[in-house]
Amino acid sequence: MHKNYCFSNILGIFIFNEHLKVIKSELFTNNEQYLSSPQTKAALSKQYHAVEPTGKSLDRIHEHFSDVKYDSSFVARNIELTKLHVKESVNEDNMIIQSVSSLMELTTILNMLLKRLREWYGMYNPETERAIEEQETFVHEILSKDRKQLLDRLETSERESMGGEIAKKDVDAILFLAKQIEHLRLFKVRQEGYLEEIMKKFCPNITVLAGSFLGAKLIHQAGSLKQLVGFPSSTVQVLGAEKALFRHMKTGARSPRHGYIAAHPLLASAVSAMHGKIARGLADKILLCAKIDYFKGEFIADKLLKELERKFK
Amino acid sequence: MKPTPVFDVFIDYRKRLFTKNLVKGVQVYGEKLVAEKGTEFREWNVRRSKLAAAIEKGCPNIFLRPGQRVLYLGCSTGTTVSHVSDLVGKNGLVFALDFAPRVMREMVFVAMDRGNIAPILGDANQPATYQDRVSPVDIVYQDVAQRNQVSVFLKNIDMYLKPEGYALLAVKARSIDVTRKPKGIFAEVKAELERTLTIVDFRTLDPLEKDHAFFICKKK
Ligand SMILES: C[S@@+](CC[C@H](N)C(=O)[O-])C[C@H]1O[C@@H](n2cnc3c(N)ncnc32)[C@H](O)[C@@H]1O
């Protein structure tokens, strides 16, 4: 009784005879055929009374596919399958990570532009620039009132001001920057809303315990929710403080107590002596929330948050 | 354009490295293209490719020849792969693997332009998961910058490299251990490789790539 072998790979399904010559082949022309190959293979094996090759015969069959005549099919089939895999890899994590990155960039850009605006506007109206510390109010005020009105409120005048006498087109250029900053701020608010929305949907527990921005930053730093779940809580605690951590490992400098989670209300309001303890407790619970969200478990973050507040407030 | 000791790698009057461009007129990563007597050459940036850095540091033979099949682990966006693809030519084949979808996306575009690259989204640490997508190769190349890079390398050699094939490894000391001196790490890697392979060349890549080394090995 002679022996046939059935072998399949990304190129197709092949029946080899006992001399390891191909006697039948079904070449794939699309991903679907490859992905459903187990069924096709079973049918073909049956029809040709073929078995799975093992040992020496398997090695020789592998070598068979080193022939240059298969090269272009290896290229074509692998390109098509990889395209599908890349397509399928796009998921919620990507949306969360892109949107939080965009938010962090917007924050940096806004700070830069605001600094420039104050510097520039200060040439024209230094008293007002100095008097209004809050950024949003500052931008709003200089856009809605002219210099005379603003100085009046400070009980001074344009004559007494140190502000330079500059042309209207110069003032317009400054206020145009202010206008753009206001637009960017609105844009940022929208982005925050969007991030909040997707975080609530895909990571409801993290979002309630840590907030959408902090939670998303942790996912971003970990690379994905899956990777975050794989970290020990001591790593979650210092995510975002990588620089300090490397310094600690290389030079023995003090190890950082916390990274991004420092921005959590529980930590921001705590006395310094408690920071280490709170950071540990918080990282623990955030990790627990991440695990629940990853495995799509039930919602318990509100209870966890209350517990933490009771313990540390 | 003058030849170098390394097969099919060229050098110009400013001592920059080049390979012959497999696909005329097409750049991969913004590198310079230079035409000379009907042949187009692509600059091979020694600061962006560890294989080029190894050549720059004096490696006389990288064992890549036209018509070979290569398994390239950790291909990223295809900077080095594109030159390997030039070297094995249109009758050669490069299986280019990376586990990061973001870089694979760029790799696919490069593969579609070049015709001799088979891109694979997969984990080099689990060679069995891509066994139906590759076939035995003449060369295994690895640059994954992972803690367990040596064991990943050996597993793949065991599974896919033909007997007497060559295996090229870029090692990043910091990804094995950030706190230790690179020298000690390289010595350890060497010992580990020598258990199953013959080492034919070793270079440290400083200052082109800080704390990196390059090993060329032969399968026994
Ligand atoms: C330093 S880069 C390689 C650069 C590339 N060799 C070049 O010169 O153009 C390392 C790459 O290895 C990939 N990588 C790391 N571990 C991997 C693994 N286990 N499987 C597949 N790819 C991996 C990373 O995604 C990254 O793209």
Helix (H, G, I), strand (E, B) or coil at B47: coil
Q: Residue B90 above 80 pLDDT?
A: yes
Task: Compare all CA atoms of chain A with the CA of B161 and give the residue at the minimum distance.
Answer: A63
Residue whose CA lies nearest to ligand 1 atom number 15? B144
Q: Which of B75, B108, B123 to mutate to test the pocket of ligand 1 (most atoms within 8 A of CB)?
A: B75
Domains along chain A? 4-88 (3.30.420), 92-196 (1.10.287.4070), 203-312 (1.10.246.90)
Residue A4 contacts residue A50 (beta carbons within 8 Å): yes
pLDDT digit string, tens, across residues B111-131: 999 999 999 999 999 999 999
Distance of alpha carbon A276 from the chain centroid: 26
Quote the tokens at residue B97. Answer: 């693997």
Please state whether beta strands A22-27 and A12-16 pair in parallel, antiparallel, or not at all (unpaired): antiparallel
Nearest residue to B72 via CA among B98, B102, B109: B98
- Residue A277, token pair as written in the block: 């303890």
Q: What is the CATH number of domain B46-219?
A: 3.40.50.150
Name the β-bridge partners of B212.
Answer: B172
List Cβ<8 Å contacts ≥24 apart for A30-33: A30/A80, A31/A80, A31/A81, A31/A84
Q: What is the mean pLDDT of residues B180-197?
A: 95
Return the structure tokens found at B146. Answer: 């992972």
So what's the pLDDT on residue A2?
Answer: 66
What would the pLDDT profile of A97-156 be if each residue is shown by its tens digit?
Answer: 999 999 999 999 999 999 999 999 999 999 999 999 999 999 999 999 999 999 999 999
Would the pLDDT of B169 be above 70? yes
C-beta separation of B180 from B118 below 8 A: no
Q: Does B61 touch chain A (CB under 8 A)?
A: no
**Confidence class for position B178, pLDDT limits 50, 70, 90:** confident
H or E element in which residue B142 lies: strand B137-142
Centre of ligand 1 to C-alpha B146, Å, is: 8
Structure confidence at residue A289 (pLDDT):
97
Asked whether B103 lines ligand 1 (CB < 6 A), one says yes
Q: With beta carbons less than 8 A apart as the criterion, state whether B91 and B69 touch.
A: no
Q: Which of residues 66-125 of A touch B (CB under 8 A)?
A: 66, 68, 70-72, 74-75, 77-79, 81-83, 85-86, 89-90
Nearest to A184 by CA among A295, A106, A115: A106
Instruction: Please provide the average confidence, as pLDDT, over all residues in chain B.
Output: 96
pLDDT score recorded for residue A67: 92
- Residue A1 confidence (pLDDT) above 60: no
Q: Model-level pTM? A: 0.88
**Chain A residue with minimal CA distance to B95?**
A75
Per domain, the residue ranges of chain B are 46-219
* B97 pocket-lining for ligand 1 (C-beta < 6 Å): yes
pLDDT at position A191: 96
CA distance readout (Å), A84 to A30, A105, A291, B44, B105 = 11, 31, 28, 31, 10
Given an 8 Å threshold on Cβ–Cβ distance, is A65 in contact with B179?
Answer: no
- Residue A251 has a pLDDT of 78
Residue A242's identity, in one-letter code, is E
Q: Identify the CA nearest to A305 among candidates A264, A273, A270.
A: A264
| Residue-level pLDDT at A269 | 84
Q: Is B180 on the interface with A (CB under 8 A)?
A: no
pLDDT in tens, A150-193: 999 999 999 999 999 999 999 999 999 999 999 999 999 999 99
Query: How many angstroms separate the Cα of A38 from the Cα of each of A8, A12, A70, B133, B154?
Result: 9, 11, 21, 15, 30
Q: What is the pLDDT of residues A214-270, one digit of tens each?
A: 999 999 999 999 999 999 999 999 999 887 777 777 777 777 778 899 999 998 888
For residue A242, the CA-to-ligand 1 centroid distance in Å is: 21
Rounded to the nearest angstrom, the distance between the alpha carbon of A93 and the centre of ligand 1 is 21
ipTM confidence score: 0.95
